[in-house]
A and B are shown apart, each in its own frame.
Chain A
């Protein structure tokens, strides 16, 4: 091997080893790298007990209710398999909407209600003008009313 090839080999070997080390560390810390827990994970007791964590999912359609003080909001977060109730007192972000993504930070109380201190809205990677969005919504509504796509609907709340 020429010195040149030797240096190349060392560099490739070094990058390979570092990549493997970083990969293992990130794999081991998977739960800490994830920003939030899903309601299913909380249901299986994978979320930390007694300390603050984040849950994420969709705001269930028709679940948002405001208390009479006008500030406290109750809603359910669902990952389409499990859902949990969230109580939050404060101002919600503009993009907070039923059926849209949300991430909330807070603690579980004794009745398994999530007491949120912070609610963040999560938007998706699709960008389109309002007319196109309306058209898609109408097409989807027409489809689901004819009963061809039952998978797109949410599971009934228990």
Chain B
């Protein structure tokens, strides 16, 4: 049984599998983004307090959730890479980092756009906003550290440590609105349920799933490039290039 588990941890096998999986994530993502935006803009009612401006929540909240979850997954892969010395785990970690950084940036950016009209400020140094900014810096630090070390194995080890240590920040982001007083409101989606109208919930949930599918698809396609780059002097990649070369 152990062989089955590790079979797809070989980059050469995973390369093909990832290529087959991508369409199953891309197309549902496109469709769900369409449905999510439609419900968000046309079906969901206006909010009693914030009128139309609250609609930015449909991108702000999924992006924030994804930025935190992707970090934990990235740190998990980094830990797997350190413990089991599987090459693919480190590649997955570095494939996830740019997507996580993108979502962290979208979260901060849409938050600023939302904060100005509602709170009256683009930015406040409260615990929620600051810890999310640190998350973005952790992602950027991870990418920069990886790029600054020539030897990929040493680069993986160093950046894996950064990713693992940085994961301490994720629960701080999540609980910041409970632990300290902040300008940022509390969580709308709690483990105990949501405090939101049903059509708003649906739109947010659909957008969340769409963002997940997009993130998976883009990470898989990025890991394929990383595999090719890192394995460029192996037999199977050379054969692959020759096969494709005939077609060109």
User: Which residues of A line the B interface, CB within 8 A?
Assistant: 4, 7-8, 11, 14-15, 18-19, 22, 26, 30, 33-36, 38, 56, 92-95, 103, 118-130, 132-134
- Among residues of B, the one whose C-beta sits closest to the C-beta of A6 is B83
List chain B residues, Cβ under 8 A from A38. 181
Complex partner residue of A127 from B57, B121, B167, CB under 8 angstroms? B57
21 A/B residue pairs, CB under 8 Å, sorted by A: A11-B82, A22-B172, A30-B180, A33-B179, A34-B127, A34-B181, A93-B118, A94-B118, A95-B118, A119-B120, A123-B119, A123-B185, A124-B49, A124-B186, A125-B187, A125-B195, A126-B196, A127-B47, A127-B54, A127-B57, A128-B197
Query: Is B28 among interface residues, defined by CB-CB distance under 8 A?
Result: no
With A15-B168, A127-B200 in contact, do A33 and B127 touch (Cβ < 8 Å)? Answer: yes
List chain B residues, Cβ under 8 A from A15. 164-165, 167-168
Query: Is B50 among interface residues, defined by CB-CB distance under 8 A?
Result: yes
User: Which residues of B line the A interface, CB within 8 A?
Assistant: 45-50, 54, 57, 79, 82-84, 117-121, 124-127, 161, 164-165, 167-168, 172, 179-183, 185-188, 195-197, 200
Complex partner residue of A120 from B46, B82, B183, B188, CB under 8 angstroms? B183
Is B197 a contact partner of A124 (Cβ separation < 8 A)?
Answer: no
Is B124 a contact partner of A120 (Cβ separation < 8 A)?
Answer: yes
Is A121 a contact partner of B168 (Cβ separation < 8 A)?
Answer: no
Complex partner residue of A36 from B45, B47, B50, B181, CB under 8 angstroms? B181
With A15-B164, A22-B172, A35-B181 in contact, do A125 and B188 touch (Cβ < 8 Å)? Answer: yes
Is A11 a contact partner of B181 (Cβ separation < 8 A)?
Answer: no
Is A129 a contact partner of B46 (Cβ separation < 8 A)?
Answer: yes
With A22-B168, A120-B119, A123-B118 in contact, do A95 and B79 touch (Cβ < 8 Å)? Answer: no
Is A95 a contact partner of B49 (Cβ separation < 8 A)?
Answer: yes
Tell me if B's interface is mostly helix, strand, loop or mixed: loop
User: How far, in Å, is B154 (CB) from chain A's closest CB?
Assistant: 16
List chain B residues, Cβ under 8 A from A118. 120-121
Which one of B82, B168, B183, B196 has the greatest number of beta carbons of chain A within 10 Å? B183
Q: When chains A and B are docked, how far (Å) is the Cα of A119 from the Cα of B124?
A: 12
List chain B residues, Cβ under 8 A from A103. 124, 183
Q: When chains A and B are docked, how far (Å) is the Cα of A125 from the Cα of B54?
A: 11
Is B165 a contact partner of A14 (Cβ separation < 8 A)?
Answer: yes
Complex partner residue of A132 from B50, B84, B168, B197, CB under 8 angstroms? B197
Q: When chains A and B are docked, how far (Å) is the Cα of A122 from the Cα of B185?
A: 7
User: How far, in Å, is A43 (CB) from chain B's closest CB?
Assistant: 16
Complex partner residue of A7 from B82, B127, B179, B195, CB under 8 angstroms? B82
Q: When chains A and B are docked, how far (Å) is the Cα of A53 from the Cα of B85?
A: 51
User: How far, in Å, is A57 (CB) from chain B's closest CB?
Assistant: 10
The 8 closest A-B pairs by CB, nearest first: A133-B48, A93-B120, A129-B45, A35-B126, A125-B185, A130-B48, A125-B188, A126-B195
User: How far, in Å, is A81 (CB) from chain B's closest CB?
Assistant: 15
Complex partner residue of A4 from B83, B168, B187, CB under 8 angstroms? B83
Other A-B contacts than A35-B125, A123-B185, 10 sampled, CB-CB below 8 A, are: A15-B167, A26-B179, A93-B119, A95-B49, A118-B120, A120-B121, A123-B118, A124-B185, A127-B196, A128-B196
- Among residues of A, the one whose C-beta sits closest to the C-beta of B121 is A120
Q: When chains A and B are docked, how far (Å) is the Cα of A77 from the Cα of B26?
A: 51
Q: When chains A and B are docked, how far (Å) is the Cα of A22 from the Cα of B138?
A: 15
User: How far, in Å, is A8 (CB) from chain B's closest CB?
Assistant: 5
Q: When chains A and B are docked, how far (Å) is the Cα of A37 from the Cα of B64?
A: 27
Q: When chains A and B are docked, how far (Å) is the Cα of A157 from the Cα of B59?
A: 42
